[in-house]
Amino acid sequence: MEQQKSPKLRRALGPVGLLLFGLSYMAVATVFTTYGIVNQITEGRLPLAYVVALITMLFTAMSYAAMVKKFPVAGSAYTYVQQSYGGAAGFITGWLLLLDYLFIPMLNFLILGLYVSSQFPSIPMQLPAFLAVLVVYLFNVLGIKLANRFNIATVAISVAVVAVFGIMALKMAINDPNAPSLIEPFLPGAEGFSPILTGAGILALSFLGFDAVSTLSEEARRPGRDIPRAIILTTLIGGGIFILVSWIGAMAYQPESWAAVPQELLDSAGVVLANYVGGPVFGVAMVVATIAGCLGSGLTGQVSVSRILYSMGRDGILPQRFGTLSKRFKTPVFATTLVSLIALSCLFLSLDQVAYMISFGALAAFSMVNLSVIRVYLFPRGHRPQFGAWQLIRYGLLPLIGFSLSIWLWTSLEPLTWLVGGIWALLGVVVMALKTKFFREPVPTMDFVETEAILGEHRTRAAAPDAAQ
């Protein structure tokens, strides 16, 4: 009988593995990914934009941590909103979340191709991007343990190169009499906070690591304890690194006008900055670190989106093939294959187009997760409302602040982003209508019996940690 059971995701990740997964997804060197784009938008105030983004993300990260404790299952925002507001709201949230998760691997493969091509002009960016898609696909299919080992290596390389950059750039800034003051990068420019908010909205994509951690709830040994901690630590550590590195970079290098910097230099601003700070040799090292970071982030991105598709397929909202696992590798191979094929779009999309769309989907999902905390904790189904002082602050006020800040950044994105995002949302409504025979049938959701079975397994493993090893 045991052999006839459906395969389950393998619980193999401890607290350190989860944290490294989140940091790898965020990619420590990702500060250079949108370095040129956001500096141009904010008039060189990238550090201030990161501060605004980190404050916003901390409130949302606390909401994710609260929801993981209630629902330690795969699916991330899709599952949380579904269990809070029903199948329709859950599907639309999951559909918008798919937008950024589908674009995250594209972003990494696109940057990898651009950086390699900038260092070796004879190599077209499409070639290294295609090879990266292939490598990440193989690691993703082979299993979470192998992916975890790969993440450790990529994080180590990225941290080492970024640390060397920080030391060299700081030394250059100290010896430069024309360097800006210590607080200048944290002060608004001539146009005030409007461009800062637009920049912070784009930078939301840099913090998707904590959302990615939540998708691994069924592959963590003790999800109820370790996932919430990993979410908060991923946000704090990643955000702190982003602010520090962007601040040091701003002190070391400030062009007369970011608006006058050519687009091709904006897309590969990390290499330009590395060459300026450490010369051509360090520029090559930055390309190597970028390749490692992009491979690690691309891998974790595909792992996360394949788990979301798996969860939606298991619930019946997507075709059943999405909700199946490989009997040999215990991974969602069908979903992974589809995501890899979509990732090939990096061969013809531009960097700014991808960055805006990722942030659109992320901020929409973050907003709904904050609202889900209020619904689940203050107005639980089948129970009286919980209006104690602690509950009102932790599960009412804080999520409401997170929701308001997310909406604030969301509405600061460019109008074209809203147009494309709106079309994607309408497409999701069409898919949902077809799945429910034009809303004559309810939207499929995760069965609470299934949820309780997973929760029961989680509690058993928490009570007997040695067995989980």
Q: What is the pLDDT of residue 268?
A: 73
Contact call for residues 112 and 128 (beta carbons, < 8 A): yes
Q: Is the confidence at residue 442, as pLDDT, over 70?
A: yes
Give the rounded distance of the alpha carbon of 283 from its chain centre.
26
Per-residue CA distances from 403 to 61, 84, 165, 341 (Å): 11, 15, 35, 33
Give the residues across from 111 on adjacent strands: none
Q: What is the pLDDT of residue 57?
A: 92
- Average pLDDT value over all residues in the chain: 81
- 163 pLDDT band, cuts 50/70/90, is confident
Residue range 55-61: mean pLDDT, rounded: 93
Three-state secondary structure call for residue 220: strand
Burial class (CB in 10 A: 0-12, 13-18, 19+), 79: buried
Give the global pTM.
0.76
* Percent of the chain scoring above 90 in pLDDT: 17
If one compares 103 and 127, the residue with the highest pLDDT of the two is 127
Contact call for residues 182 and 341 (beta carbons, < 8 A): no
Give the residues across from 220 on adjacent strands: 13
Residue range 142-157: mean pLDDT, rounded: 70
Q: What is the pLDDT of residue 66?
A: 92
Q: What is the pLDDT of residue 451?
A: 46
Q: How far apart, in whole angstroms, are the C-alpha atoms of residue 211 and residue 25?
A: 10
Per-residue CA distances from 377 to 34, 196, 255, 299 (Å): 37, 33, 50, 34
pLDDT tens string 1-47 = 444 455 666 676 788 888 887 887 776 667 877 888 888 889 889 99
Rg (CA), the chain: 22
Q: What is the pLDDT of residue 449?
A: 40
pLDDT tens string 112-138 = 888 788 778 888 988 988 998 888 888
Give the residues across from 75 on adjacent strands: none
Q: How far apart, in whole angstroms, are the C-alpha atoms of residue 408 and residue 402?
A: 10
Q: How far apart, in whole angstroms, are the C-alpha atoms of residue 77 and residue 94?
A: 6
| Helix-then-strand count for the chain, H and E | 19, 0
Q: Is the confidence at residue 54, as pLDDT, over 90?
A: yes
First-to-final CA distance of the chain:
24
Per-residue CA distances from 210 to 72, 240, 346 (Å): 14, 14, 24
DSSP summary character for residue 44: S
pLDDT tens string 418-435 = 888 899 899 989 988 888
Q: What is the pLDDT of residue 2?
A: 42
- For residue 439, the tally of other CB atoms under 10 A from its CB is 12
If one compares 150 and 138, the residue with the highest pLDDT of the two is 138
Q: How far apart, in whole angstroms, are the C-alpha atoms of residue 47 and residue 254?
A: 13
Q: How far apart, in whole angstroms, are the C-alpha atoms of residue 209 and residue 212?
A: 5
Q: Which residues contact 405 (CB under 8 A, 6 or more apart)?
A: 55, 56, 59, 60
Q: Is the confidence at residue 370, as pLDDT, over 50?
A: yes
Residue range 397-405: mean pLDDT, rounded: 95
pLDDT tens string 64-80 = 999 988 887 766 788 88
Three-state secondary structure call for residue 218: coil
Q: How far apart, in whole angstroms, are the C-alpha atoms of residue 103 and residue 355?
A: 8
Q: Is the confidence at residue 399, as pLDDT, over 90?
A: yes
- 276 pLDDT band, cuts 50/70/90, is confident
Place of tokens 């090893």: 469
Phi and psi at 2, nearest 5°, equal -60, -35
CA dihedral 355, 361, 366, 367 (to 10 degrees): 120
If one compares 265 and 253, the residue with the highest pLDDT of the two is 253
Q: What is the pLDDT of residue 151?
A: 67
pLDDT tens string 292-337 = 777 777 777 777 778 778 877 887 777 888 888 877 777 788 888 8
Residue range 187-193: mean pLDDT, rounded: 84
Length of the chain: 469
